[in-house]
Amino acid sequence: MVKIAPLRTVARLMAFVTLVLPLPAISQAANPQELTLDRLAVATDWRAASPTLTWSGDGDSSLEQEASSTIEGAKDLVRYDNATRKRSVVVKAEDLIPAGSQDPLEVDAVHFSDDGKRLLLFTNSKKVWRLKTRGDYWIFDFASRKLTQLATQLPPDGRRAEPSSLFFAKLSPNGKQVAYVWQNDLYVETIDSRATVRLTTDGSDLVINGMGDWANEEELRIRDGFRWSPDGKKIAFWRFDTSDVGRFVLTNQSDLYPTLQTFPYPKAGTTNSSVSIGVVDSVGGPVTWMRDDDDPRNHYISQLEWAGNSHEIMVQHLNRHQNVLMVMLGDVVAGTYRRLLIERDSAWVDDVSDWRWLDDGTRLLWVSERDGWRHVYAVSRDGETTTLLTPGQFDVVSIEGFDSEAGVLYFVADPDGPLERYLFRAPLDGSGTVERVTPAESPGFHRYKIAPNGRWAIHSVSTFDDPGSTELIRLPGHTTERSLADNAELRERVQALDRGDFRFFRLPVSPEEGGGEASVDGYEIRPPNFDPSKKYPVLFHVYGEPASQTVANRWGGTTYLWHLMLAQQGYLVMSIDNRGTAAPRGRDLRKIIYKRLGALSSADQAEAARQIASWDYVDGERFGIYGHSGGGSMTLNMLFREPGLYKVGMSLAPVPDQRYYDTIYQERYLGLPFEDPEVYEQNSPISFADQLEDSLLIIHGTGDDNCHYQGTEALIDRLVEHNKLFTVMPYPNRTHGLREGTGTTEHIRHLMTDFLHRNLPAGPR
């Protein structure tokens, strides 16, 4: 079956490659129809606008940053009333000038107090890891118009925190206090008196309070690791003891003398951090540690929230194998848990971030795959009654919000296929049917940020070849109230390009024994002057792991544009989502790769490629493949396992040996290596490196804290051992995204394009 339509490309795959060969000349063509590397290098020409708003109060108004009319280069904070569209400047740039300074603060993020009387401002942010930033925090009081910096009188000696050293500040529910993390300890500061209390005292290089360690932050999204109680009197928090976790070392060779950066990183099968949950009064005092009978280094607490009141917390407890998840209620006075519900799976259970209490804490909103599809349920507080809220044979992609007055749940799904995303609503009592909210005449990939009261939303939509737009809409009618970004100039620039057809398709693959029909989805971009009587080379863009999908009807940014440039030069560009990717096609297709992440996913890619090779206009002797991160690993798998099928492979930031990646991700999909080492052997690309026959380029940042350059060095050793020729381009101190440093992205694109042209010539024959 072939299904024609449009796509999306995953943001985390947006990187390109480099090679130790001379750079090609950069075209200076000014033809608006032609894409060139020098045109792509002008990022501002191709950047889609995607404005962000901060809801104020219940969401009937929003706060935005706009250019100041009085201070050049500065920003005012502007409030818009959603219903009347009335605009008012609530904080002028002049208000954001600290005492003793001449320049206003550059605000990175804004948070309202619940009563709307104060703003918490995040400034001077600095990246720590891929997902974590630190910075400075300030309070702006609307009544006094006073601007106050936090953490200037820290106990015990009243010192000031260093610039850009605070993490995750949060206002208390009454807006009178702020909690934050400094040097791995939790603090609470009273805004009016400036009195500050240190809630924990054991924070160190080994012990982390109120934040996640590297693995828990990356894989379980534990970043702001503490929660205010609803009454503001207590704080519940994570504590990670990393003292027995192996230390990974990154080396910076760029200075006169190399420097080292060391951090705890548990590789598959090794010792994890010891995790515990503490609860402490916001005015200070002893910590109540929640008692858990399991080994604290062999389970995960993936989620922590207050349980609809101020005397119980709720946690999600995952065993080390991640195939049993328990939701437990904890009495914060006694420090004990009781089990509310349990989920089991023969593969793994995904933790649930979309959860909240309904009806004054009497029911829990829950997401489960228990019937083979990802659905939303309401579970009674005693765990005895479970009500399905989203019936049907489709996956709920995400919960987006609620209208409590109307008793409605809003969620995103694509019941007709995995390529698009639409907003739906369903009654919270389970009494009605699912209703689509996104207009039927609006195809594409829709995203929503719904206001707390459920009556407004920021709505963005794009398609494969259109950057789309962002608007403020009113719910439930989905009526447009105000355009936020129409991307008209970018759209005009893209539409002026010489573009061929593109399409989506679906191909059958070999089913499991006793299983039903199996298939994979793909997309294809054709050259503008496509001639079906000729045969074209193909470049495949691959990801292939459970974290994301490449085949969807969504704007792909400069990755799409680079693909379009290659199509203009005479390549077919394609991508295949093998089984096991994050496409919303049901539990079985996602989890079929359990203990076969590498083997089965590669088999699907190869089977699809061989079918494509038989198409009349495809040159099956000229296939290339590339990918980043998981896609880099898949590229290695395809070249090593299927020698001769692809003439060229370009692997960015791969994990050649799956034993080198972190415990949480790798053990989720392959199990524990010391229990079944052959699983890791048979699924790791490095095990098949001796079969390399084709042109391979490996690109990796030496400062990659995620997929370590160490893995590429191990692969280099293996390839050298078997006398295999290949090319490697290390980028000094670049991290996993390969974006740091002047000219890095452009350099990678140039060298990747050059490598492709040298080893897989463009054009039909």
pLDDT at 258 over 80: yes
Output the average pLDDT for the chain. Answer: 93
11-48+492-759 has which CATH code?
3.40.50.1820
Q: For strand 648-652 and strand 618-628, is the pairing parallel, antiparallel, or unpaired?
A: parallel
pLDDT score recorded for residue 294: 86
Q: Residue 761 phi/psi, 5° resolution?
A: -55, 145
- Tokens coding 246: 């192996």
pLDDT score recorded for residue 528: 97
What is the side-by-side strand order in the sheet with 408-413? Answer: 396-403, 408-413, 422-427, 435-436
- Binning pLDDT at 50, 70 and 90, where does residue 52 land? confident
**H or E, element range at 680:** helix 677-683
Task: List pLDDT tens digits, range 710-719.
Answer: 999 999 999 9
CA–CA separation, 493 vs 488, rounded Å? 9
The answer to whether the predicted template modeling score (pTM) of the entire model surpasses 0.85 is yes
pLDDT at 15 over 80: no
Contact between 136 and 127 (Cβ < 8 Å): no
Amino acid, res. 356 = R
Please state the rounded mean pLDDT for residues 414-439: 95
Lowest average pLDDT, out of 9-13, 542-546, 598-602, 720-724, goes to 9-13
Burial of 61 (0-12, 13-18, 19+ CB in 10 A): buried
- Tokens coding 384: 């005895």
pLDDT score recorded for residue 515: 72
Give the DSSP letter string of 90-115.
EE-GGGG--TT-SS---EEEEEE-TT
Task: Tally Cβ neighbours within 10 Å of residue 634.
Answer: 30
Task: List pLDDT tens digits, range 58-99.
Answer: 899 999 999 998 999 999 999 999 999 899 999 999 999 999
Contact between 92 and 68 (Cβ < 8 Å): yes
pLDDT score recorded for residue 513: 74
Task: List pLDDT tens digits, range 281-301.
Answer: 999 999 999 998 889 999 999
Burial of 113 (0-12, 13-18, 19+ CB in 10 A): buried
pLDDT score recorded for residue 22: 43
pLDDT score recorded for residue 495: 96
Please state the rounded mean pLDDT for residues 570-598: 97
Task: Tally Cβ neighbours within 10 Å of residue 329.
Answer: 18
- Tokens coding 358: 């309904």
| Torsion angle in degrees (nearest 10) through CA of 242, 247, 248, 249 | 120
Point out which residues pair with 727 in neighbouring strands: 697
pLDDT at 272 over 60: yes
Nearest residue to 636 via CA among 686, 670, 702, 679:
686
CA–CA separation, 730 vs 738, rounded Å? 10
CA–CA separation, 709 vs 726, rounded Å? 16
Q: For the chain, what are the domain ranges?
A: 11-48+492-759, 389-486
pLDDT at 587 over 90: yes
Please state the rounded mean pLDDT for residues 193-222: 96
pLDDT at 2 over 50: no
Please state the rounded mean pLDDT for residues 293-319: 95
pLDDT score recorded for residue 30: 63
Contact between 350 and 302 (Cβ < 8 Å): no
